[in-house]
């Protein structure tokens, strides 16, 4: 269940609101009364019940981009994270940053297209952290253009 803490910058007459999700928090934009229709009031809901304390996550593709950001977000919420990437250098870099900030992480060199490496990743996760609660698959491969020509 999502519980939120409401923070208002000043009292407003809320006519209508639109919400969208950003990460683990909700941000709402609410138009003001008729006198100030051109302005908007930012109402921020700070998520409080979805802490990941004690959870273990694997983030494939965690060595850069969205995977790196996801891993850092999970650590900030209290989770231990396995950074799985085909580029071990990047996985280690992200893991080192997490550890320096006080988080728990394990870098692994994993190609998710090779089943034995996936099994080894799971075994390493169980050995290091004792379980697995969250799996985020962000590893990506580009399919050769000729593949599409042959299939379509």
Q: DSSP assignment of 57-122, as one string?
A: EEEETTTSHHHHHHHHHHHHTT-EEEEEES-HHHHHHHHHHHHHTT--EEEEE--TTSHHHHHHHH
Q: Is residue 35 part of a domain?
A: yes
Q: Note whether 68 and 130 are same-domain residues.
A: yes
The answer to whether residue 130 scores a pLDDT higher than 70 is yes
The secondary structure of residue 124, as a DSSP letter, is H
The answer to whether residue 91 scores a pLDDT higher than 80 is yes
pLDDT at res. 146 = 56
Give yes or no for a contact between 43 and 28, defined as CB atoms under 8 angstroms apart.
yes
Give the whole-angstrom CA distance, residue 107 versus residue 68.
12
Q: Is residue 144 part of a domain?
A: no
Q: Note whether 83 and 43 are same-domain residues.
A: no
Domain of 60, CATH number, reads 3.40.50.720
- Report the domain count for the chain: 2
Q: Which two tokens stand for residue 38?
A: 């051109």
Domain that holds residue 23: 4-47
User: pLDDT of 94-104, one tens digit each?
Assistant: 999 999 999 99
Q: Note whether 24 and 74 are same-domain residues.
A: no
pLDDT at res. 51 = 83
Higher-confidence residue of 21 and 138: namely 138
Give the whole-angstrom CA distance, residue 71 versus residue 82.
8
Q: Is residue 102 part of a domain?
A: yes
């Amino acid at each position: 269940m999502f519980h939120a803490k409401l923070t208002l910058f000043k009292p407003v007459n809320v006519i209508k609101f639109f919400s969208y999700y950003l990460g683990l928090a909700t941000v709402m934009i609410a138009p003001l009364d008729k006198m100030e229709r051109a302005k908007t009031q930012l109402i921020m809901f700070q998520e409080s019940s979805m802490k990941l304390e004690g959870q273990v996550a694997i983030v494939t593709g965690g060595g850069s981009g969205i995977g790196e950001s996801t891993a850092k977000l999970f650590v900030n919420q209290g989770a231990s994270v396995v950074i799985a990437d085909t580029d071990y250098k990047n996985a280690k870099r992200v893991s080192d940053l997490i550890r320096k900030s006080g988080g728990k992480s394990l870098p692994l060199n994993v190609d998710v297209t090779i089943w034995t490496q996936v099994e080894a990743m799971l075994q390493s996760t169980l050995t290091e952290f004792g379980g697995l609660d969250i799996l985020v698959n962000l590893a990506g491969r580009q399919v050769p253009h000729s593949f599409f020509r042959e299939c379509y």
